[in-house]
Every structure is written in C-alpha cells, then in structure tokens.
C-alpha cells in the first residue's frame, strides 16, 4: 500500500511538472543565455527548457527559436532580450490562461499557439513604447533604440527609433497612453515612443522583421545555422 501511494504521488508530481512547463529551445544559432528569477545565469542549448520569469538574451549573430507549451513560437533576433513575465497554461483549464512576454531589446517574430486561439485577450507582448495584443496571429516586432543601423530599408537609411511592426496573418492591437491601433495582415505599424500614438504606415515605410530560413522553417533537426549568407525570410 505504501509503495502504491508513493507511486501515485510520483505520478502526480510528474503531471504537475508537465502542466507547468513553459517552453523549449528548438533551434539555436550562436549564444543564448538566461537569467533566472533567483539571479543565476547560464547558457542554453537546443532542448533547454525556458521558464516563467526567465530573461533570455541573444548575442550578436545569434538567432533562437522557442516553442511554448501551447504550441506558440517566438524567434529572437540577434542582440535581443525577451522576458517571460507570465506564462500560465493548462490545456484542460482555459480560464487560467495568461501569457505576458516583454521585449526589452531587439526584435522577434511570433506565432501564437492555443492560448491565442481560445483566449486571445490573455496573450500580450509588452515593450517600452507600447503593448501588443494579439488576434490569433503571426507578426514581427523590432524595437530600435539607436541600434538598428544594419537593418535594410527602402531609403538606405537606418530605421527611426521606435517600435516597428509587421503582420503576416491575423491582426494585432497596439496600445499605449496615446491611443490604440489595430494592424491587420499585410499591414505595417510604427510607434515612435510611449507618448506617440500607434499608427499604420505605408509598405514603403514599413520594416519587415526577417529570419534566416534555417531558423524559421520546421526541419526537425533542431540545429542552428551559424554564420551564413543565406537570404532571410519571415517565420
């Protein structure tokens, strides 16, 4: 009887641990580090787990793809920082869904998972200029803070500082103290700062956040790309 109870307790612990899993690194090129809520830091690799409260940082020429427990995915660009502020997901309990990801630096592309499909108001991406709410979507975001000199534009000039957005599927709602704006599939958006209203911009002024094909496609090997001169594409 005692052995049976121990086995049941162990199985129960395993179920709880699984329910609380946040996500895994599925593709990696370069160096990805994490700072845990307790202050400890470590380098991550393919199949490393990421958790609620983690601060993820990609170094120069590094791309990292994270797959979350609900099937959502994020690809981080080089020299980017992403904090998993909140991640609550239980497939059987949709009322408890909650995802808040803070993009502190750099850029990313994101595809929402099950939470974004069944509880779209429970998924938010925050930045210093605005909060991005999703509508079942695939979008890109790039936060320029004097560090986007290498990003190509139609004018040949660096993108202006602020938050640049593009939507490939679905829609996003961008809001801050100055207002809110819905950006639909095929459109581009821009927010100059926290006190500037979000706006839709013409395609010739838009910035599309691109990723190398090897990091953005499902190839099953979970391998990174290293330094490459391959073209870039959307996720």
CB 138 within 8 A of CB 117: no
pLDDT at 99: 96
| 58 pLDDT tier (thresholds 50, 70, 90) | very high
Q: Is the pLDDT of residue 192 over 90?
A: yes
Please classify residue 181 by burial: count the beta carbons closer than 10 Å to its beta carbon, then call 0-12 exposed, 13-18 middle and 19+ buried.
buried
52/71 Cα distance (integer angstroms): 16
Lowest mean pLDDT, pick from 27-36, 108-117, 149-158: 149-158
pLDDT at 213: 86
- Mapping DSSP to helix (H, G, I), strand (E, B) and coil, where does residue 38 land? coil
pLDDT at 217: 64
pLDDT at 224: 31
Q: Note the pLDDT tens digit of each residue in 198-223.
A: 999 999 999 999 998 888 665 433 33
pLDDT at 216: 67
User: Which strand (E) or helix (H) includes residue 4?
Assistant: helix 2-19
Which residue did the predictor score with more confidence, 231 or 75? 75
pLDDT at 231: 40
Q: Which domains does the chain possess?
A: 2-216 (2.60.120.1440)
For tokens 């895994």, what's the residue?
24
| 194 pLDDT tier (thresholds 50, 70, 90) | very high
88/97 Cα distance (integer angstroms): 5
**Cut 0.75: pTM above it:** yes
CB 84 within 8 A of CB 62: no
pLDDT at 222: 35
Q: Note the pLDDT tens digit of each residue in 115-161.
A: 999 998 999 999 999 999 998 899 999 999 999 988 988 888 999 99
159/207 Cα distance (integer angstroms): 8
pLDDT at 31: 98
The secondary structure of 119-187, three-state, reads CHHHEEEECCCCEEEECCCEEEEEEECCCCCCCCCCCCCCCCCEEEEEEEECEEEEEECCEEEEEECCC
pLDDT at 18: 42
Q: Determine what percent of the chain is predicted with pLDDT higher than 70.
A: 83
Q: Is the pLDDT of residue 101 over 90?
A: yes
Strand segments, DSSP code E, in the chain are 23-29, 32-35, 41-44, 49-50, 55-58, 63-68, 73-76, 81-88, 98-111, 123-126, 131-134, 138-144, 162-169, 171-176, 179-184, 188-191, 199-201
């Amino acid at each position: 009887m005692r052995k049976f109870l121990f086995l049941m307790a162990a199985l129960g612990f395993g179920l709880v641990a699984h329910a609380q899993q946040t996500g895994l690194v599925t593709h990696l090129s370069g160096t990805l580090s994490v700072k845990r809520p307790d202050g400890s830091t470590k380098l991550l690799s393919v199949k490393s787990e990421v958790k609620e409260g983690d601060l993820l940082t990609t170094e120069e020429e590094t791309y990292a793809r994270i797959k979350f427990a609900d099937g959502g995915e994020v690809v981080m660009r080089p020299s980017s920082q992403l904090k998993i502020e909140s991640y609550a997901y239980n497939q059987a309990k949709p009322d408890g869904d909650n995802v808040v990801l803070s993009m502190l630096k750099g850029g990313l592309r994101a595809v929402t998972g099950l939470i974004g499909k069944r509880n779209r108001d429970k998924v938010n991406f925050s930045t210093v200029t605005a909060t991005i709410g999703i509508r079942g979507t695939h979008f890109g975001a790039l936060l320029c803070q004097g560090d986007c000199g290498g990003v190509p534009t139609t004018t040949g000039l660096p993108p202006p500082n602020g938050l640049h957005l593009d939507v490939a599927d679905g829609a996003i709602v961008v809001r801050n103290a100055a207002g809110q704006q819905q950006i639909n599939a095929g459109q581009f958006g821009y927010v100059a700062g926290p006190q500037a209203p979000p706006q839709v911009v013409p395609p010739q002024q838009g910035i599309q956040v691109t990723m190398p094909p090897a990091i953005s496609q499902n190839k099953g090997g979970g391998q990174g790309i290293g330094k490459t001169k391959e073209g870039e594409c959307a996720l």
